[in-house]
Every structure is written in C-alpha cells, then in structure tokens.
C-alpha cells in the first residue's frame, strides 16, 4: 500500500522517511525540495572507485533519498556518496559490479521513461524514477530494480548516519538530524535522566584512544584528523 502523502509538495516529508526506514525499512524517497532551499554545493573530492559520470548519478540519488529540508542538511551534505565511493574500494567491494551495472540502468531507464539522463531531470522526475525502482517496475535492471534501490537506500543511510571516520556523516549532520549526541566514554547522572538532552560531543569514536588503537582496516586513506576541533 502506498504511503500517505502529507507535505505541501505532495511527497513524503523527511521525518516520515526516517520513521519509516527506522521502523520497517520501507519507502525511502522524499518529496521534492525547492532549489532555492539547497545550500551551496561543496567542491568535488577526488574519486576512489566511481567514474565521474557514476559519481554524478550517485550524488543526485542520495540527495533525493535524504534531501536537505527545513530540518537541516541531508545526505549530500553528509557526503554519503563519498562514503559509498570509498567503501566500494574496501568493505563494500563486493557491490562494485552491482553499482556499475545499476547506475547504467538508472540512466538508461531515465532516458527511456523521462527523456533525459537522470542528472538532467527535475527533482519530480528523479523521484518518479526512484519510485519506479522501489516498486520494481523500472526495466533494464539485473536482477531487478528493487534490489538496486534497496542497496542504494541502505548505503545512503550508512553514509549519512555512520561514524564520520568512514567518510560520511560530514560535520556530524546525520547525528544532529536524529538527535544522537555522539560517543561518550563517561555519562553523568544528569545525562542519564529520561528527560535529558545531552549536548553533542561532535567526536568520532576514533577520536578516543580506546578505539583509535584498534582502527578498522581500510577506514581511511590518511591518518584521520580530529573531528569537532
């Protein structure tokens, strides 16, 4: 059953997106965002795995899955695409071929169904393509469009809300969005109260010695800088 539409644009609000994903992992496309509401895009970073064309499509997709809105920055500002690009050279390397074939299929279907490459489409048309993928009616995908949509959705969520040490959640925008105050090695009695709202630490787990001594392999190219300084 299709989810109820409840915002002024006729799409799902991001709050509903996060609730639905957190509860059942269901529908992950939010309503269109006015271009005037988007912040200035940051300069492109060097790619590790994607081609430039692939990176452009992924950037556009993650921006539609968790867009910037009145609640704050979204997946683009969190650098979710950067996280995916890095992870495909390491922990997610088994998904590299799925991305190569899937992104080609996204662009091909966008041209066939909407008459233009995915990155050239207005946000409403991009959302329509993603909804077709989620509903498994978009053609040209192997094994099917829903599988690739779920892969994109899962990795976008990881890149937005995981520890920033892994390349996403830049400036802790994902944690701030959901109200997660960050890693703590000590918690005061006041902070343990049910009505407490601890101030964000804006620190990665790997800013603490107990974690940094056991850094996971392939988490970073260079030695990580301290977050939140």
Q: pLDDT digits over 2-55, tens only?
A: 333 344 434 444 545 554 444 333 333 333 333 333 334 445 668 899 999 999
pLDDT of residue 139: 98
Query: 72 by DSSP, 3-state: which?
Result: strand
Share of the chain above pLDDT 70, in %: 72
Q: Give the confidence band of 98 by pLDDT, cuts at 50, 70, 90.
A: very high
User: Does residue 225 surpass a pLDDT of 70?
Assistant: no
Cα–Cα distance, 154 to 180 (Å, whole number): 19
**Cα dist. 50→47, 66, 75 in Å?**
6, 21, 17
Domain boundaries, the chain: 14-32+44-182
Q: Which residues contact 41 (CB under 8 A, 6 or more apart)?
A: 76
Q: Which residue has the tokens 């959901």?
A: 178
Cα–Cα distance, 125 to 107 (Å, whole number): 12
Of the listed ranges 66-70, 188-192, 211-215, the one predicted with least confidence: 211-215
- The tokens of 197 are what? 């709202």
Of the listed ranges 40-54, 60-74, 184-198, 211-225, the one predicted with least confidence: 211-225
Cα–Cα distance, 203 to 143 (Å, whole number): 40
Q: Does residue 4 or residue 98 have the better pLDDT?
A: 98
Cα–Cα distance, 108 to 111 (Å, whole number): 5
User: Does residue 58 surpass a pLDDT of 60?
Assistant: yes
Average pLDDT, integer, range 58-71:
94
| Cα of 161 vs its chain's centroid, Å | 8
Question: Residue 69's beta-bridge partner residues?
Answer: 72
| Cα of 52 vs its chain's centroid, Å | 18
Average pLDDT along the chain: 80
Q: Give the confidence band of 217 by pLDDT, cuts at 50, 70, 90.
A: low
Cα–Cα distance, 179 to 108 (Å, whole number): 38
Q: Does residue 185 or residue 150 have the better pLDDT?
A: 150
Is the Cβ–Cβ distance between 58 and 49 less than 8 Å?
Answer: no
pLDDT of residue 46: 80
């Amino acid at each position: 059953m299709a989810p109820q539409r409840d915002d002024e644009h006729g799409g799902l609000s991001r709050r509903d997106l996060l609730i639905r994903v957190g509860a059942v992992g269901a529908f992950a496309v939010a309503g269109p965002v006015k271009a005037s509401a988007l912040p200035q895009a940051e300069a492109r970073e060097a790619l590790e795995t994607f081609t430039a064309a692939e990176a452009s499509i992924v950037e556009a997709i993650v921006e539609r899955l968790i867009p910037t809105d009145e609640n704050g920055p979204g997946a683009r500002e969190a650098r979710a695409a950067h996280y995916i690009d890095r992870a495909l050279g390491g922990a997610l390397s088994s998904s590299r071929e799925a991305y190569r074939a899937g992104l080609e299929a996204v662009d091909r279907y966008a041209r066939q169904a909407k008459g233009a490459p995915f990155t050239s489409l207005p946000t409403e048309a991009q959302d329509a393509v993603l909804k077709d993928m989620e509903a498994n009616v978009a053609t040209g995908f192997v094994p099917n469009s829903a599988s690739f949509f779920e892969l994109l959705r899962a990795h976008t969520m990881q890149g937005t809300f995981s520890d920033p040490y892994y390349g996403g959640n830049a400036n802790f925008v994902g944690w701030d969005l959901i109200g997660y105050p960050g890693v703590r090695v000590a918690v005061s009695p006041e902070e343990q109260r049910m009505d407490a709202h601890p101030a964000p630490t804006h620190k990665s787990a790997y800013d603490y010695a107990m974690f940094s001594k056991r850094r996971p392999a392939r988490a970073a190219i260079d030695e990580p800088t301290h977050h939140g300084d």
